[in-house]
A and B are shown apart, each in its own frame.
Chain A
Amino acid sequence: MSAVTWFGPRLKVQIGAALVLGMCLIAIFASVLSPHDPYTQNLMLRLRPPVWADRGSWDYPLGTDNLGRDLLSRLIHGSRLSIVVGLMAMVVALSIGTTLGLLAGYLGGRTEQAIMRFADAYQAIPEILLAIVVVAVFGGGVTVLVLVLGFAGWETYTRVAFNLTRSLRERPFVEAAIASGGRGRYVMWRHILPQMSPVLTVIATLQVGQLILQETALSFLGLGLPPPTATWGNILAEGRDRLLVAPWIANLAGCAIVLLVLGVNLLGNGLRETLDPRRADRR
């Protein structure tokens, strides 16, 4: 058994799911798992190194930050925002994009032209710029982040849903549903959408990873939830100013982000190879 067959879709899904599930559990039980309060400052205990360094202690396993706050507790609480924003923004993009794609593919004609030309034009717009402007104006609340990131990522779903709907429309079971008097909404919802769900699941999973990266990036630039809120991007930005004395702050926050996003990406790639074997090359 070579390395390649050994690291197949099954193992990818297993490792990915384990990482994602673990992170979700950490986010849900954040208050129980945190050894300290993530916001309690203690200036006597500033910049304690993590336990594996000299002077480290088990009281603060990952050390403390510039204001003496426990880094482990802050990282645990930081997982919440990333996961919530990533998932909810994905739901926004998925709902808008799939609805438009379904309509364009099912109705055809002018509707199709209007929706698909709009999707083409939208693709040429640098979304991150729009996101930055909106966040700058309205502040980086959770709702704003979800809407901004969600509205930036809908057109992939539209394209995929459109192509799939167009080919599914020609299939006998859909024609039968229409012939037996099924109305448009019923046919789209009950006959076409379920057929697309595996492909949409894969795209949605991979998109969550990208959305989490974008959320942490905005937060790193100072455009997410304002400090002292514990978000991974905020922690990394704070750590960046203390690289010489306390490199572990930035690096541990970076590790946290990579672990979550890697989990999501492995899960998505594994699912793609499992659910869509014809396109297994497209990982």
Chain B
Amino acid sequence: MRYLLRRLLLVPVPLIFVIAFVFVVLRLTGDPVAIYLGLDATPEQEAVLRAELHLDKPVIVQFGYFLADLAQGDFGTSIQFKRAAMEVVMERLGATLQLLVLGLALAILLGIPAGVACAVYKDKLPDFALSVLAVIGQSMPSFWLGILLIQLFALDLGWLPTSGRGGLEHLVLPTVTLATFLVPNFILVTRVSVLETMREQFVVTARARGAGAARALWRHVLPNAINPVVSLVGLQLGRLMGGAVITETIFAWPGVGRLMVSAIFQRDVPIVIASVFIVAVTIILANLLVDLVQAAIDPRIRLR
């Protein structure tokens, strides 16, 4: 319980940082009045708009107004869609979350068993082959991998659609692309964690008391080796989102990432701000979830 409270106290810090960062960047983009009004505006018009946007107040008061707007979910009106930016972003959030969850799940399903196999067969063929694959995977730009998959499975073989969102078949290539981006790290971290746990005294003791290799692995090594892998999930969330931006762009997946990139080219600032904010909140909350899972499975963290 104390752990939960302490952890909850940490949530606002990165959030405030993101908000302050966005505010500073917004103020550095130039005078919003000039952008909204154009060249032939009269000084009176300018003054009215300046007062309306609170730009005549000190910066710290402006920041206060900015916070108040955010708290109400008011990010302004999208220039492309002529609707509240928040609304547009929320509509796309589902598609992005679907991709993130599926990609992460596939990465875990492939990466953890592969990492365990590497550790169990250390310095033998499976370890060698999977480690080499992991290094190549780490060197592979995910956007090229996605394009290769499109060429092979969509253009050449015609088994799967090239892009868009629809039935199950639309999910395959984006999920695989996003997962491949994460799998190498899961393999390498699982491998190291399992190897280090295998050297622990309690594993040696278990083996000495007559536990077979399989029992020692399942009952003694794996439960104790899982923790660094769970931390990795938290550490990878930011990268995962970066991967989602790229994956959505390649496969024309209608999510927040693609929306954000297109909004940048359209100079649609409210959408960019709203997407960054919503995604940052999602990732910060997911991080919280990961930490709580970790505390639930590991008393060493809970009782610290």
Q: Which residues of A contact B (CB under 8 A)?
A: 2-5, 7, 117, 120-130, 132-134, 136-137, 209, 213-214, 216-217, 220-223, 236, 240, 243-244, 247, 250-251, 253-254, 257-258, 261-262, 264-266, 269, 281-283
Contacts and interface: CB of A to CB of B under 8 A. Distances in A.
A122 B147 contact: no
B29 to A, nearest CB: 5
Nearest to A135: B264
Contact of A223 (B125, B264, B279): B264
A14 B142 CA distance: 26
Given A3-B125, A126-B280, A220 B143 contact: yes
A7 B261 CA distance: 42
A137 B28 contact: yes
B239 interface: yes
Nearest to B127: A4
Interface stretch (B16-24, B75-83, B88-96): B16-24
A126 B144 CA distance: 22
B245 A128 contact: yes
Given A120-B10, A243-B150, A281-B195, A125 B138 contact: no
Given A126-B279, A266-B135, 16 more contacts: A2-B124, A4-B123, A4-B124, A7-B132, A126-B242, A128-B245, A129-B280, A133-B272, A137-B29, A220-B246, A243-B151, A251-B151, A258-B140, A262-B139, A265-B135, A281-B191
Given A254-B144, A257-B144, A266-B135, A126 B10 contact: no
B249 interface: yes
B127 A126 contact: no
B265 interface: yes
Contacts of A262: 135-136, 139
Interface in B81-116: none
A129 B17 CA distance: 13
Interface of B: 10, 13-14, 17-18, 21-22, 25, 28-29, 123-125, 127-128, 131-132, 135-136, 138-144, 147-148, 150-151, 155, 188, 191-192, 195-196, 235, 237-239, 241-242, 245-246, 249-250, 260-261, 264-265, 272, 276, 279-280, 283-284, 287
B15 to A, nearest CB: 9
Contacts of A137: 25, 28-29
11 contacts: A4-B127, A121-B14, A126-B280, A128-B245, A209-B138, A251-B148, A254-B147, A257-B141, A262-B136, A265-B135, A265-B139
A39 B74 CA distance: 46
Contact of B144 (A121, A236, A244, A264): A236
Contacts of A130: 18, 21, 276
Given A7-B128, A133-B25, A281 B276 contact: no
Given A217-B242, A244-B155, A251-B148, A124 B139 contact: no
B260 A125 contact: no
A281 B192 contact: yes
Contacts of B242: 126, 128-129, 214, 217
Contact of A123 (B192, B235, B246, B272): B235
The list of the 3 closest CB pairs from A to B, nearest first, reads A128-B242, A254-B144, A262-B139
A213 B145 CA distance: 13
A124 B14 CA distance: 6
A130 B21 CA distance: 8
Nearest to B29: A137
B239 A128 contact: yes
Contact of B143 (A120, A236, A281): A236
Contacts of A283: 131, 135, 188
Contacts of B265: 222
B129 to A, nearest CB: 9
Nearest to A223: B264
Contacts of B147: 236, 240, 243, 250-251, 254
A226 to B, nearest CB: 11
Given A126-B237, A128-B245, A121 B141 contact: no
B260 to A, nearest CB: 7
A229 B87 CA distance: 37
Contact of A132 (B18, B264, B284): B264
B161 to A, nearest CB: 14
A128 B144 contact: no
A136 B272 contact: yes
B135 A221 contact: no
Contacts of B143: 216-217, 220, 236
Given A243-B147, A265-B135, A125 B141 contact: no
A125 B135 contact: no
Contacts of B124: 2, 4
Given A209-B139, A265-B139, A127 B28 contact: no
B155 A213 contact: no
Contacts of B151: 243, 247, 251
Nearest to B125: A3
Nearest to B140: A258
